[in-house]
């Protein structure tokens, strides 16, 4: 059991037979009245997002989500195929099951496929990936103000804001949770 006062991002719980995952939460203590927890929830099966408030003492059963490591193989006709690294079975997933962080996943990269009672509802990309910059504007000489950034397209096709000193064919580390540039990286880290 989990109480609403213990909610954190990513926690999954069961409400009347429906499993929700917390996207955002906020503990609110108004000047008058009782405290409450404001949440933004995703239905893990349908993907629908709703907002709901809870009393901090409300209790719910925890829903256990299975996380299986699988390797992204290829995309064909709108389906994305993932291979179980133990059984070598291929699992096709539609675009609706993919998270925003999937835009940083390239072929042969290992991800975690999420399922609840056998129903696949999403995936988790690695927290950090190293990708090659394929397209960016050259830095302007003399433009040395702090925190100046420009757009760069990486090998998966995603666009990332990077510092002006980053050039094409360089490798960069990206935080897939936020989509932000972290640092330069070596080509050896990209494997």
The tens digit of pLDDT for each residue in 1-23 reads: 888 888 888 888 888 888 888 88
66-124 architecture in CATH?
Answer: Beta Barrel (2.40)
Residue 37 class from Cβ within 10 Å (0-12 exposed, 13-18 middle, 19+ buried)?
Answer: buried
Question: What class is the 129-190 domain?
Answer: mainly beta
Check residue 47 and give its pLDDT.
72
User: What's the number of CA atoms in the CB half-sphere (13 Å) around residue 73?
Assistant: 15
CA 43 to each of CA 15, 53, 128: distance values in angstroms, whole numbers, following the listed order:
10, 15, 26
The tens digit of pLDDT for each residue in 23-56 reads: 888 888 888 888 899 999 988 777 788 999 988 8
Give the residue range(s) of CATH 2.30.30.30 domains in the chain. Answer: 2-60
Question: What class is the 2-60 domain?
Answer: mainly beta
Output the pTM of the full model. 0.69
């Amino acid at each position: 059991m989990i109480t609403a006062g213990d909610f954190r991002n990513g926690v999954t719980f069961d409400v009347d037979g429906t499993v929700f995952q917390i996207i955002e939460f906020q503990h609110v203590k108004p000047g008058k009245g009782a405290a409450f927890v404001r949440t933004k929830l995703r239905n893990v099966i349908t993907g629908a997002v709703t907002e709901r408030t809870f009393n901090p003492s409300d209790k719910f059963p925890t829903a256990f989500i299975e996380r299986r490591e699988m390797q992204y193989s290829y995309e064909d006709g709108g389906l994305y195929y993932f291979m179980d690294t133990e059984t070598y079975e291929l699992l096709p997933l539609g675009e609706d099951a993919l998270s925003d962080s999937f835009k940083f996943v390239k072929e042969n990269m290992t991800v975690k496929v999420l399922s609840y009672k056998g129903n696949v509802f999403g995936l988790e990309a690695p927290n950090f990936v190293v990708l090659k910059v394929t397209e960016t504007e050259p830095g302007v000489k003399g433009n040395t103000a702090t925190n100046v950034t420009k757009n760069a397209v990486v090998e998966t096709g995603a666009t990332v804001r990077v510092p002006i000193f980053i050039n094409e064919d360089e490798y960069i580390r990206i935080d897939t949770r936020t989509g932000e540039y972290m640092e330069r990286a070596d080509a050896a880290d990209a494997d």
